[in-house]
């Protein structure tokens, strides 16, 4: 038995050793396989180890800040918060502190004014059967100060989720220039307009990362095992924009936009000696903090338009530079037949008679410019100057979406109209660049708006933008001579730029009134249906600023000028900017006299259409009142060339049915003028001012009608005095 037992024992031992050997070999093979393949069941062992024993933390970086010329932030990344309310009572379970909203009515009442949300709307949100809710649009992206106000209320259940957002401290402020950002599918801020878009690569940040080792219990191992990939903040951008002057511009545009409700406003303020854009803006605009955008076009650089008579300064510059301009030479104003076909008219189709070319510039005569082009300069030479002034190509300012305009220059009439700003289109930034040649003694400066790009972390300058001469289209002597003539546009009695005079500062410039086409390509007619503009340089002797302002289709009253909204912006911005830049004012007798009071000569309205006559009267500072429903003027109450005070009312007889105006309060002289206009049989009784008229107001007024009027002196009758005063005010 013992031998048999030993036999089985030995067999068991051998089996045990065999199994053990097999297991050992299998283990060695497995370990070898793992070492060679680095994978188990399709899973990468290193990745598995990293997942279980390594941890990392994102180190957030910030998008670059955009600053003005003085280091004031215009666009920056800030921490904002989303406000939520925990509604489920289970959040407070096993806690002595209430972590859910306890009193919903009180919470809604106290949050309403801070979140600028209706109390009932908040109460409705707080009544939802959810664990937690966000408190609507008013609770998103709130500032640190609002968060602190809410925290002081100590309302249970109110929690805050932090996030980074782009913030524009000034709201509606050079908005199309700065642009705005949006969040892409990766949660990253990207530029969508303006400098945010064109400099997105420079502004974009790269987050860093900190890596740790930990044990199987999750404890972080000693710091020597840390690995840090540092964050890279986006570069900071410094602009040429000056916040003070940009604010002046924004305020002026807002006033004009509210009062006149134009379709568009465009304005640029530049330094002609460097090409720096000091301020630029347009209406409609938007607040990039809320993206209330209706106009996605940066109009001063993207909107190409017929500029009108502001373009005459470049034709004038070409003629002067070529030595073919004689300002004392006379030409016949009114109309001009273009060689090769077509007729050009002045705003006063009857003309001002034979006038000098200098006066033609002052009066903005299309005929004078047409003669300069066709009979003095020549279209080919003019075209070369047109290109030398930078038109037909982009200025390449560092902003996206710039237009180059369109040259319409095939036929003789197109070549002629291009010389005074019709047909061909340009942009406001092109006009600013071209005008810098006149303001800067012949040197045309390339406009730029980015001053430098600075690495946020090292403070080293990455890109440094410098003043750059874009060309020399005219000589220094030509520029100085032209500025002197353009100053007379503002100061001369016959000048169209009186509204742009600034007390204490001389201004050289040119007005513009351009026709506007409708969706069918036809010019729109009517009072105010134009693009009104002004290009000005101040001080005229040695300009510190070039300012361009254009207002498209403002809503004007019958007695308002198209220059009224334009000059409101130009004067306030230019005067404020010159004072801010400490440009000393000087006494200018001509300008002071011009601003105080001035008489004007009555133009010849006969034969003009009613709309043309009214536009001409307004441009001369007069008030034209049509008495009929005809199409053309057949007579005027005050004869042409009569000198009258600005604001004088002139009655126009038409070629249709005419109506009797109310003449209560008129003087004997005024009623005699009306009588002469219609050859009336007039009977006058008394002296003083008219208190009664035999032909009633709005009755048909015909040649040789009988009209009896009674006059009384104001002191003779109290009731009459009141009636007279009322009608005089009207």
pLDDT in tens, 329-342: 999 999 999 999 99
| DSSP notation for 200-251 | HHHH--B-EEEEEEB-TT-PBPPGGG-EEE--BPPPEEEES--HHHHHHHHH
Average pLDDT of span 724-730: 29
Q: Helix, strand, coil: what percent of the chain each, to 5? A: 35, 25, 40
Rounded mean pLDDT of 182-208? Answer: 89
Q: Which residues contact 523 (CB under 8 A, 6 or more apart)?
A: 515, 516, 517
pLDDT score of 501 more than 70: yes
**CB-based contact 124:116 (threshold 8 Å):** no
Both tokens of 178, joined, read 């700065």
Separation CA 510–CA 533 (nearest Å): 8
Of 705, 611, 603, 596, nearest in space to 650 by CA: 603
Domain end residue (candidates: 36, 53, 70): 53
pLDDT at 437 over 90: yes
Verify that 253 and 266 share a domain, yes or no: yes
- Checking if the pLDDT of 486 tops 50, the result is yes
Same domain flag for 467 and 509: yes
Asked if omega into 373 is within 30° of 0 (cis), the reply is no
Residue 684: which domain range?
599-729
Residue 393 CB coordination number (10 Å):
10
Residues 524 and 490: beta-carbon distance below 8 Å: no
Mean pLDDT calculated for residue range 90-102? 81
Q: Is the distance from CB of 269 to CB of 569 less than 8 angstroms?
A: no
Q: Does the structure show a pLDDT above 70 at 7?
A: no
Domain count, the chain: 4
Q: How far apart are CA 352 and CA 359, in angstroms?
A: 10
CA distance 96 to 93: 8
Does position 720 have pLDDT exceeding 50, yes or no? no
Residue 323 CB contacts under 8 Å (≥ 6 apart), including other chains: none
Strands of 41-156 (E only): list them: 43-44, 54-59, 66-67, 73-86, 132-134
pLDDT at 221 over 60: no
Q: CA 338 to CA 373: how far, in whole Å? A: 10
Domain CATH code at residue 135: 3.30.70.2110
Q: Residues 6 or more apart from 56 whose CB is under 8 A from it? A: 209, 210, 211, 212
Does any domain span residue 222?
no
Pick the last residue of a domain from 153, 175, 204: 204
Q: Taking a C-beta distance cutoff of 8 angstroms, is the pair 465, 202 a contact?
A: no
Q: What's the pLDDT score for residue 213?
A: 64
Query: Does residue 683 fall inside a structural domain?
Result: yes
Q: How far apart are the first and last CA of the chain?
A: 145
Which pLDDT value is given to residue 215?
A: 56
Same domain, 380 and 510: yes
Same domain, 666 and 604: yes
> Is residue 111 situated within a structural domain?
yes
CA distance 334 to 348: 6
Name the pLDDT band for 625 (thresholds 50, 70, 90).
Answer: confident
- In this predicted structure, the answer to whether residue 111 has a pLDDT above a threshold of 50 is yes
DSSP 182: E
- Half-sphere exposure of residue 407: CA atoms within 13 angstroms, side-chain side: 15
Cis before 539? omega within 30: yes
Residue 724 pLDDT > 50, yes or no?
A: no
Q: How many helices (H) and strands (E) would you count in the chain?
A: 22, 33
Given a contact cutoff of 8 angstroms between Cβ atoms, the answer to whether 194 and 176 are in contact is yes
Same domain for 175 and 262: no
How many Cα atoms within 13 Å fall on the side-chain side of residue 546? Answer: 28
pLDDT the model gives residue 19? 76
Q: Is residue 130 part of a domain?
A: yes
Of 659, 651, 650, nearest to 628 by C-alpha is 659
Quick one: pLDDT at residue 633? 92
Residue 400 lies in a domain: yes
- State the number of CA atoms in the 13 A half-sphere of 316 facing the CB: 35
Q: Which residue has the higher pLDDT, 219 or 74?
A: 74
Q: 267 with 573: CB under 8 angstroms?
A: yes
The verdict on 394 and 528 lying in the same domain is yes
Going by pLDDT thresholds of 50, 70 and 90, the confidence category of residue 721 is very low
In this structure, the answer to whether residues 130 and 41 fall within a common structural domain is no
Residues 141 and 26 in one domain: no
Over range 348-375, report the average pLDDT: 94
Cα–Cα distance, 391 to 137 (Å, whole number):
47
218 in a structural domain: no
Indicate if 603 and 620 belong to the same structural domain.
yes
Cβ–Cβ under 8 Å, residues 366 and 345: yes
Q: What was the pLDDT predicted at 36? A: 63
pLDDT tens-digit map of 544-603 = 999 999 999 999 987 788 899 999 999 999 999 999 999 998 865 455 555 444 677 888
Sign, CA torsion 619/620/625/630: negative
684: domain CATH number is: 3.30.10.20
Please check whether residue 602 is in contact with residue 569, taking contact to mean a CB–CB distance below 8 angstroms: no
Q: Is 309 a catalytic residue?
A: yes
Task: List the single range of 158-162, 322-326, 353-357 with lowest mean pLDDT.
Answer: 158-162
Q: How many residues are listed for the chain in this entry?
A: 730
pLDDT, residue 90, reads 83
Whether residue 224 is contained in a domain is answered as no
pLDDT at position 164: 78
Give pLDDT, residue 343.
Answer: 95
Across the range 676-703, mean pLDDT stands at 90
Winning range, highest mean pLDDT, from 71-80, 285-294, 419-428: 419-428
Position 102 in a domain: yes
Least confident of 7-11, 61-65, 201-205, 689-693: 7-11
Give the count of alpha carbons within 13 A of 91, CB side only. Answer: 17
Long-range interactions of 566-571: CB distance < 8 A, separation 24+: 566/499, 566/532, 566/533, 566/534, 567/499, 567/500, 567/534, 568/252, 568/255, 568/256, 569/249, 569/252, 569/253, 569/256, 569/265, 569/267, 570/500, 570/534, 570/536, 571/499, 571/500, 571/502
* Residue the block writes with tokens 């729109």: 524
User: Would you give the distance in Å from CA 584 to the centre of its chain?
Assistant: 29
Residue 322: which of 434, 474, 443 has the closest Cα?
A: 474
Among the listed residues 175, 309, 494, 563, the single catalytic one is 309
Same-domain check for residues 658 and 584: no
Per-residue pLDDT band at 712 (split at 50, 70, 90): confident
Q: What are 390's two structure tokens?
A: 């930078």
**Residues 79, 33 share a domain:** no
- 118 and 45 in one domain? no
Average pLDDT taken over every residue of the chain? 87
Tens of pLDDT, residues 381-408 = 999 999 999 999 999 999 999 999 999 9
CATH number, domain with residue 566: 3.40.710.10
Residue 165: CA count within 13 A, CB half-sphere: 18
Of 482, 460, 464, 465, the closest CA to residue 473 belongs to 482
Place of tokens 């209406």: 283
């Amino acid at each position: 038995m013992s031998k048999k037992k030993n036999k089985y024992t030995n067999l068991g031992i051998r089996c045990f050793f065999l199994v053990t050997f097999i297991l050992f070999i299998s283990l060695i093979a497995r370990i070898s396989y793992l070492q060679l393949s680095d994978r188990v069941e399709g899973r990468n062992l290193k990745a598995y180890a990293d997942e279980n024993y390594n941890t990392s933390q994102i180190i957030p970086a910030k998008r670059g800040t955009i600053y003005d010329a003085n280091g004031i932030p215009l666009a920056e990344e800030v921490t904002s918060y989303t406000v939520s309310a925990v509604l489920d009572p289970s959040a407070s379970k096993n806690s002595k502190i209430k972590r859910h909203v306890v009193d919903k009515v009180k919470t809604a009442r106290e949050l309403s004014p801070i979140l600028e949300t209706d109390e009932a709307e908040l109460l409705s949100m707080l009544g939802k059967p959810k664990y937690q809710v966000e408190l609507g649009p008013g609770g998103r992206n709130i500032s640190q100060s609002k968060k602190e106000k809410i925290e002081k209320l100590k309302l249970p259940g109110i929690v805050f989720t932090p996030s980074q957002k782009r913030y524009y401290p000034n709201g509606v402020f050079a908005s199309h220039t700065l642009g705005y950002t949006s969040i892409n599918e990766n949660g990253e801020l990207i530029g969508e307009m303006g400098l945010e878009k064109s400099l997105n690569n420079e502004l974009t940040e790269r987050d860093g990362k900190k890596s740790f080792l930990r044990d199987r219990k999750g404890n972080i191992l000693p710091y020597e095992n840390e690995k840090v990939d540092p964050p890279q903040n986006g570069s900071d951008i410094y602009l040429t924009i000056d916040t003070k002057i940009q604010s002046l511009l924004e305020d002026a545009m807002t006033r004009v936009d509210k009062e006149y409700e134009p379709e568009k406003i465009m304005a640029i303020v530049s330094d002609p000696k460097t090409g720096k854009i000091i301020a630029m803006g347009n209406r409609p605009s938007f607040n990039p903090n809320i993206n209330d955008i209706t106009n996605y076009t940066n109009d001063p650089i993207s909107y190409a338009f017929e500029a009108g008579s502001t373009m005459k300064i470049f034709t004038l510059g070409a003629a002067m530079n070529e030595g073919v301009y004689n300002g004392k030479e006379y030409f016949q104003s009114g109309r001009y037949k273009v060689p090769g076909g077509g007729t050009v008219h002045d705003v006063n189709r009857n003309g001002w008679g034979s006038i000098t070319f200098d006066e033609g510039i002052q009066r903005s005569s299309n005929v004078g410019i047409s003669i300069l082009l066709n009979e003095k300069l020549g279209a080919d030479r003019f075209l070369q100057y047109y290109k030398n002034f930078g038109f037909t190509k982009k200025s390449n300012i560092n902003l996206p979406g710039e237009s180059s305009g369109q040259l319409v220059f095939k036929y003789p009439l197109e070549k002629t109209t291009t010389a005074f700003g019709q047909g061909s289109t340009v942009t406001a930034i092109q006009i600013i660049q071209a005008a810098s040649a006149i303001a800067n003694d012949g040197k045309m400066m390339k406009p730029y708006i980015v001053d430098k790009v600075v690495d946020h972390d090292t403070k080293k300058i990455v890109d440094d933008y410098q003043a750059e001469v874009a060309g020399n289209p005219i000589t220094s002597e030509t520029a100085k001579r032209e500025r002197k003539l353009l100053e007379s546009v503002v100061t001369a009695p016959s000048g169209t730029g009186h509204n742009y005079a600034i007390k204490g500062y001389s201004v050289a410039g040119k007005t513009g009134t351009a026709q506007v086409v409708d969706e069918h390509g036809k010019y729109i007619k009517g009072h105010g249906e134009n693009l009104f503009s002004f290009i000005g340089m101040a001080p005229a002797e040695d300009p510190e600023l070039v300012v361009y302002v254009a207002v498209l289709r403002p809503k004007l009253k019958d007695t308002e000028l198209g220059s009224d909204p334009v000059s409101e912006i130009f004067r306030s911005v230019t005067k404020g900017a010159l004072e801010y830049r400490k440009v000393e004012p000087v006494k200018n007798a001509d300008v002071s006299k011009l601003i105080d009071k001035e008489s004007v000569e009555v133009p010849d309205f006969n034969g003009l259409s009613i709309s043309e006559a009214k536009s001409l009267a307004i441009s001369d500072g007069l008030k034209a009142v049509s008495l009929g429903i005809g199409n053309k003027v057949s007579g005027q109450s005050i004869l042409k060339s009569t000198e009258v005070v600005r604001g004088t009312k002139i009655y126009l007889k038409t070629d249709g049915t005419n109506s009797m105006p109310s003449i209560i309060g008129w003087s004997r002289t005024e009623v005699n003028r009306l009588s002469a206009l219609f050859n009336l049989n007039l009977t006058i009784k008394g002296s003083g001012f008219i208190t009664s008229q035999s032909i009633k107001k709005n009755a048909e007024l015909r040649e040789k009608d009988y009209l009896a009027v009674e006059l009384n002196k104001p002191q003779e009758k109290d009731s009459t005095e009141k009636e007279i005063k009322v009608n005089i005010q009207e």
